[in-house]
Amino acid sequence: MVLMRRKRGWVFTLSALAGLWWVLSMNYELPILMYHIIDRPPAEGRSSVHVSPEVFERQMEFLKVHGYRVIPLSEAVRLYKEGRPIPRKTVVITFDDGTLDNFDHAFPVLRKMDFPATIFMITSNIGQEGWLGEQDLKILDQSGIEIGSHTADHAFLPSLKNDAEIEDQLLRSKARLEEVLGHPVSLLSYPAGGFNSRIAALAQLAGYEGAVTTNHGRPRGNPYGLHRIKVSESGANLFNFWLKVSGLYHLGKRRIAIS
Ligand SMILES: [Zn+2]
């Protein structure tokens, strides 16, 4: 009798674990990391856009040591479009804005680890002091770092007056990067994550293959609204980073649906 009860207990525990595993599997989502500046945060005040070079290197080492596969964003977009499953322990790395520290601090680490990444450039800042120049972009592009558009002027697209203004931001930045790199540019990052279904349609019409937003995005799998996980210095410990690359970080986060 006691044995029977014990046996039933085990069956229950195993079923519960299997159920939990199933729920977690169903909710797994490819982590697309979003970085901005890889440099020491300013001495005063907290910064949500800085990650110091040492912390960044430790995070990349974590991925390397624990056998994560880092794929280019373009490959993730392709897999989504083909409806193919993305294997566990896969990560995408992206940077917004295109500040010079990406070249000086992030690029050497990425090269050392042999990791691809995508940098989204505000094209009107190309060559300005503190920003990536044409030569930097070419070197990055030829070294496995994809260059995407972050619009011409970092415009918050939903607040622009009409379609023509949105198209101008999307097309002008794309053309500028293509002129520098000499090949098509197919990835876009909406400044401040601002987009709606009209903007996504215009991005597609402009010739982009995929676009990323910030945490507040549409459900997984929409290649014109891929949401990302922000990495900042404030959550610099490796446990936090492990959660962010777990593929389950979004669970419990409020998702705002943008129409
Ligand atoms: Zn930005």
In the chain, domain spans: 1-28, 31-244
pLDDT of residue 216: 57
Where the chain has pLDDT below 70, the residues are 1-4, 23-26, 45, 215-221, 234-235, 252-259
Cα of 155 to ligand 1 centre, how many Å? 9
pLDDT of residue 100: 98
User: 234 Cβ partners below 8 Å, 6+ apart?
Assistant: 46, 48
Cα of 204 to ligand 1 centre, how many Å? 20
Give the domain 31-244 fold.
Answer: TIM Barrel (3.20.20)
pLDDT of residue 15: 81
Chain segment 33-75, per-residue pLDDT in tens: 999 999 988 877 677 899 999 999 999 999 999 999 999 999 9
Residue 53 Cα distances to 60, 139, 172, 174, angstroms: 10, 20, 32, 29
Sole residue written with tokens 């601002």: 194
**Which tokens is 14 given?**
């195993």
pTM strictly above 0.95: no
Cα of 69 to ligand 1 centre, how many Å? 26
Cα of 21 to ligand 1 centre, how many Å? 36
Nearest one of 136, 118, 120, 138 to 128, comparing CA atoms: 136
